[in-house]
Amino acid sequence: MYAVSGFSRTKKTALAGPKETESLMTRAQALVLVTVFAGACSSPPPERTLIDVAATALGGADRIRSLKAIALTGSGSAPNAGQNRMPDDELPVWKVTEFTRTIDLANSRTRVRQLREAQFQFAGATVQRTVQGLDGDVAYNATPDGTMTRAGEAAARERRIELLHHPITAVRAALDPAAKITNLRAEGNDQLIDITTAKGDAITLAVDQSTHLPSRVMSMSDNANMGDVAIVTTFTDYQDVEGVKLPRRLRTMMDKYLQMESMISNTALDGDTSDLEVPASVKAAPAPTPPPVVVNVEPVSKGIWWLAGSGNHRSIVFEFDDHLTLYEVPLNEARSKAVIDKARTLSTKPLTTAIVSHHHFDHSGGLRVAVAEGLTIVTHRDNEAFFKDLLARPHTIVPDALQMKPTPAKFEFVDDHLTLKDSSMEVQLYHLLDNPREGTNLFAYVPRDRILVQADLYDASWNQHLWGENVLANLAQRKLKIERDVPVHGVIEPFDQMVKTIKAKPTIAGTN
Ligand SMILES: [Zn+2]
Ligand SMILES: [Zn+2]
């Protein structure tokens, strides 16, 4: 993810040019002006004054500069953007039962530990412990037993920006003489400035005009599905802790979605942070790069191929009389472009159509590249507004295929069912009904081969199959004679095996 400098810029007021000014001035007026200018030059620019005012309200610039560490303990919630049942439903939420965030200000280190519980039906571990940290430019993840693994450059960048989403770190960064502070403007009851840190990270700080305390920190970032997004953390419920004002409630939005809300129950200043330093072995390890996208082709039946390879998001290609149709453009542009390219090698017939199984972000991540590649999108009608919005959003921070080649979208919407049929192939599409997780899901059935093609209905490797009975009821209701499951997640299995796994007592999800 990349950050760019802040929000809308205020219009610059036009100034009279020097020639014009001279002609209008008397010598005496000029002298007065010089004096006034000299006086003005010695006072700090208004951006600097705003930082000083905010620093004073937080406890004083010297106090902020001399702070060594902050340790925050609390609880909160972390919704899952792009995983709701319907595109406009409330997001499924992880309840964060324990949360600690430690910041070593002097050494630019931070660590966030979370214990979270799924408040929604989830196929993986429903209780999870996460440990994520940053030591300078080195990001790492750790297991609960302390094993650390270096994380990639993108995580490091993201966490460096996230570290600035706190009033103390933001104001401290702005107090650094090497920081650039520009573009003072008013917005509602706040005054805003753009800060570019000595490292080049850009945030916007909002200061409440009545309390003089920071009210928000904002930064811009790229999201694979949503493109340019504002990440905004709001600070409220300030309390005094040893002479420093600290917010007890922090609420971070990504665009229109709540990303994290934390309620701080305890704050400790200047505690021991020696354990935030990453071991030399982790520091010395190269930052991992995203694994290469590999697409392997596995023939399933005549004119049907399963495109697997790296990761656990597969696609299926169907060959019709005069064209190819792809089921699923998953994950992101890189995966989906590779899948589209591979599909085009399977036949001389053109690839014309992509069925997008449902709106969840990991299944619609290839929507934009599919449109840029000229494919007609087949999806459930309830995805229409959501997908049109995703297609219209700007992706300027990390320009994607559609940003670089704006292409009008072609859609074919499905209500309850749709049959795609010619003399070579028949694919029946059905809307999955009454499912607690999947409100817009279309699964496919090929009667000739008795094949089920599905995404998120079932994966043999899931911890539990909480909506398995609903899936079996849907398949029975459609009177399908299925012999094989050819899934987007998991492996190709005989249908008997799929039923057996669903009927078996679900694994009780443990902590991972
Ligand atoms: Zn899903
Ligand atoms: Zn999925």
List pLDDT tens digits, range 374-406: 999 999 999 999 999 999 999 999 999 999 999
Q: pLDDT confidence of 6, banded at 50, 70, 90?
A: very low
pLDDT for 11: 35
pLDDT of 505 = 63
Rounded mean pLDDT, 22-50 = 56
The whole-number pLDDT of residue 506 equals 62
pLDDT at 149: 94
506 CA from centroid of ligand 2 (Å): 19
pLDDT at 34 over 50: no
Q: What is the CA radius of gyration of the chain?
A: 28
Gap from CA of 330 to ligand 2 centroid (Å): 9
Burial letters for 317-347: b for 16+ Cβ neighbours within 10 Å, e otherwise?
Answer: bbbbeebbbbbbbbbbbbbbbbbbebbbebe
pLDDT value for 496 = 98
In this structure, what is the dihedral angle of CA atoms 40, 45, 48, 49, given to the nearest 10 degrees?
A: 50
User: Of 25-29, 39-43, 127-131, which gets the smallest average pLDDT?
Assistant: 25-29
The stretch 118-128 carries a mean pLDDT of: 90
* Spacing, Cα 363 to ligand 1 middle (Å): 7
Distance 296 CA to ligand 1 centre (A): 23
Least confident of 41-45, 248-252, 391-395, 494-498: 41-45
Ligand 1 centroid vs 438 CA: distance in angstroms?
6
Model pLDDT, residue 42 = 64
Spacing, Cα 362 to ligand 2 middle (Å): 6
385-419 residues labelled b (16+ CB within 10 A) or e (exposed): ebbeebbebebebeebbbbeeeeebebeebeeebe
Determine the distance separating the centroid of ligand 2 and the alpha carbon of 489, expressed in angstroms: 7
Q: Is the pLDDT of residue 423 over 70?
A: yes
Taking the centre of ligand 1 as the mean of its atom positions, its distance from the CA of residue 117, in whole angstroms, is: 19
What is the three-class DSSP state of 95? strand
> What's the confidence (pLDDT) of residue 14?
36
What's the confidence (pLDDT) of residue 25?
43
Give just the sign of the alpha carbon dihedral 346, 309, 422, 410. Answer: negative
Specify the 3-state DSSP secondary structure of 469: helix
Report the separation in Å between the CA atom of 140 and the middle of ligand 1, taken as the mean of its atom positions: 28
| pLDDT above 60 for 424 | yes
Pairwise pLDDT comparison (229 vs 511), residue with the higher score = 229
Ligand 1 center to residue 361 CA distance, Å?
8
> In this predicted structure, what is the pLDDT of residue 35?
40
- Lowest mean pLDDT: which of 14-18, 215-219, 461-465? 14-18
Residue 44 pLDDT? 82
Q: Give the environment of ion ligand 1: residues with CB less than 5 A.
A: 360, 456
Q: Is 182 left (phi over 0), alpha (psi -120 to 50) or beta?
A: beta
- Closest ligand (CA of 488): 2
Ligand 2 centroid, distance to 242 Cα (angstroms):
48
Please list, residue by residue across 247-257, b when 16 or more beta carbons sit within 10 angstroms of its beta carbon and e when fewer do: bbebbbbbbeb
Residue 400 φ/ψ, nearest 5 degrees: -105, -175
Query: What is the distance in A from the centroid of ligand 2 to the CA of 373?
Result: 23
Strand intervals (E) in 282-425: 295-301, 304-309, 315-319, 324-327, 351-355, 376-380, 410-414, 417-421
Cα separations (Å) of 297 from 73, 306, 339? 49, 6, 10
Q: What is the pLDDT of residue 43?
A: 77
What is the 497 CA–ligand 2 centroid distance (Å)?
Answer: 20
Q: Which residue has the tokens 């001279």?
A: 22
454 CA distance to ligand 1 centroid (A)?
A: 10
As a whole number, the mean pLDDT across the chain is: 91
Place of tokens 């040893």: 242
List CB-based neighbours of ion ligand 2 within 5 Å: 456
Residue 508 has pLDDT above 80, yes or no: no
What is the C-alpha separation between 312 and 191, in angstroms, rounded? Answer: 47
pTM value is 0.89
Other C-beta atoms closer than 10 Å to the C-beta of 292 total 9
The pLDDT of residue 41 is: 55
Instruction: Give, in order, the Cα–Cα distances in Å from 238 to each of 78, 167, 186, 217, 244.
Output: 22, 10, 22, 15, 10
At 145 the pLDDT is 84
pLDDT in tens, 89-104: 999 999 999 999 999 9
Cα of 467 from ligand 1 centre, angstroms:
12
Task: Give me ligand 1 centre to Cα 360, in Å.
Answer: 5
Residue 39 has pLDDT above 50, yes or no: no
pLDDT digits (tens, 9 = 90+) for 430-440: 999 999 999 99
Task: Give tens-digit pLDDT for 439-484.
Answer: 999 999 999 999 999 999 999 999 999 999 999 999 999 999 999 9
Q: Which of 43-57, 60-74, 318-332 has the lowest mean pLDDT?
A: 43-57
Closest CA to 464 of 120, 90, 130, 77: 120
Of 138, 137, 141, give the one whose Cα is nearest residue 112: 141
**Average of pLDDT values for 31-48?**
59
How far does residue 72's CA lie from ligand 2's centre (Å)?
Answer: 34
pLDDT at 32 over 70: no
Q: Residue 161 belongs to what H/E stretch?
A: helix 153-163
Q: What is the mean pLDDT of residues 415-429?
A: 98
